[in-house]
């Protein structure tokens, strides 16, 4: 299971976001974190993206952790926090094979976010 966490904010929020990174709970052992990566632009402000990977059996625990983690950033005025759950191609192909229908395969997926 893969989940992406993103933050978007202006330069005026950067210090508060950096301080929050220093206060949040560490990533649990069952979760692999890649990132965060940062980019900025004059038009879009500052953005971060983090990639979280876990076994399917830990998906609910991961969702709970990420909800709490990103809520701390969302409390900062001017910060937009978002979490997305993504499926691997293998899972999608299996669903398509089982259902023989794109619509049915999409109906079978229940994303947490």
User: For 10-24, how does the pLDDT look when each residue is reduced to its tens digit (9 = 90+)?
Assistant: 999 999 999 999 999
- Tell me what the pLDDT averaged over the chain comes to: 91
pLDDT of 110 > 70? The answer is no
Task: For residues 104 and 94, give the distance between their C-alpha atoms in angstroms, rounded to a whole number.
Answer: 12
Give the pLDDT band of residue 107 (cuts 50, 70, 90). confident
Domains of the chain, earliest start first: 2-87 (3.30.70.360)
Instruction: Quote the CA–CA distance of 101 and 73 in Å, as a whole number.
Output: 39
Tokens of 87: 């499926």
The pTM score is 0.84
3-state secondary structure the chain: CEEEEEEEECHHHHHHHHHHHHHCCCCCCCCEEEEEEEEEECCCEEEEEEEEECCHHHHHHHHHHHHHHHHHHHCCCCCEEEEEEECCHHHHHHHHHHHCCHHHHHHHCCCCC
pLDDT tens-digit readout, 68-87: 999 999 999 999 999 999 88
Percent of the chain with pLDDT over 90: 65
Please write the tens of the pLDDT for every residue from 33-51.
999 999 999 888 999 999 9
């Amino acid at each position: 299971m893969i989940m992406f966490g993103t933050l978007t904010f202006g330069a005026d929020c950067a210090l508060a976001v950096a301080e929050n990174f220093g206060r949040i709970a560490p990533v649990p052992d069952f979760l692999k974190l890649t990132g965060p990566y940062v980019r900025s632009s004059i038009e879009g402000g500052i953005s971060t993206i983090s990639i979280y990977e876990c076994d399917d059996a830990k998906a609910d625990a991961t969702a709970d952790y990420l909800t709490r983690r990103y809520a701390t950033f969302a409390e900062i005025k001017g910060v937009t926090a978002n979490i997305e759950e993504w499926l691997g191609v293998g899972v999608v192909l299996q669903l398509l094979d089982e259902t023989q229908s794109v619509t049915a395969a999409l109906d079978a997926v229940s994303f947490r976010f």
